[in-house]
Structures are given as C-alpha cells and as structure tokens.
Structure 1
Amino acid sequence: MENTLTALTSTPTSLRMERMALTIDRRGINAIPVAALRELGFQAVSAGSSRIVAEVLADPCAPPVARERAFGIVATVLAGPRDRAPKAAPCSPQAA
C-alpha cells in the first residue's frame, strides 16, 4: 500500500529518476540508453543545471564515474523546489 501511495504522489520525472538511479546502482551508468540521459540533461538545463554537466551525463566516452556524478547533480536539480519564480527587481528610488 505504501508503494501505491508513493507512485500516486510522485511526478513521472521523479519516478523515472528513481528507476534510473536503481539501474545505475545495480548495472552502471552504461546500462541507461544515451538518448534517455540526453533527454534528462535537457530537462535539467531547462531547470537551471549546467549545460556542461548535461553533456558529461550523455557522453558515452566520458568516464563512468564522471557520468554518475553528473547524474547526481542533474537529479538534485530536477528534484529541487519547483516554484522557481523570477526574483523581483530591487526597488529603485523614484525621482522627486
């Protein structure tokens, strides 16, 4: 029952990241298709992650440990707070 509740309250992205993390833990980063990692990287860049981190994540020639660290960074960015409203501009003094 607890798993059902988790599945119903989680976003598809977080569930997908959990599955990817489990696969990486069990079989390594190379077990995840590059296209899936590239898509995750695009989502992370849209959410504010570094483009370089996204490129390392999707680069099959990069060392696996670097790609796994990139996955951790991307997962952290995507799991972060969703209300990233733009910050208000500082008030400027009005001319009298």
Structure 2
Amino acid sequence: MELEKINLTELEIPYVTNVTGEYVSDISKTKELLVKQISSPVKWEQSVRNMINNGVDTFVEIGPGKTLAGFIRKIDRNVKCINISTVDDLDKLKEISL
C-alpha cells in the first residue's frame, strides 16, 4: 500500500479526526484513520462539538462558499466563523488572536 511508504513525524498539535470525532495526538494512529476515512461516515457534528467543548471558538473555512460555516453555526451560534475564498480574504485572519 502506498500509504505505508509515507513517513509521518510526531504531532506538534493534536487534530480531530472525522472518523471518530475525537482528538488524535498519537501519530501511530494516523495511517489507520486515513484508511478508515475513505469508507467511514464523517462525524461532523461530533467533531465540531468536541472542538467547541475543548475551547475552540473560531473556525476558518477555506474555499469558495460558506457551507461548512453554516453547518457550524447551526451547531453553536456563539462561535466565530471566518471564510477565506480569495487571496484578498486572507486579511480576515488578522481578526484571530492566537
């Protein structure tokens, strides 16, 4: 399998997998999750709720349209959603305080 040829480095920041909706901090699970991602349902709402419950209050949607931002707002109207659909929109990222 081609995926076996890829070397992954240790994670600096955990990510939320759409396979389980949970945070992943162990890189050894990533390849298995990538394989499962192809045929598993996307746990979108569980993923977003998990991030919000862990303090995420700003989401950035990159690409044309605002579909995902709309889905996020239906889950929680209190979070901020920023849409980046053009190069000019990159200035919106200045609104995020890290």
Work out whether the TM-score is over 0.5: no
**Rg (Cα) greater in structure:** 1
Greater RCO, 1 or 2 (C-alpha within 8 Å, sep 6+): 1
Q: Counting helix residues as a fraction of each chain, which structure ranks higher?
A: 1
Q: Counting strand residues as a fraction of each chain, which structure ranks higher?
A: 2
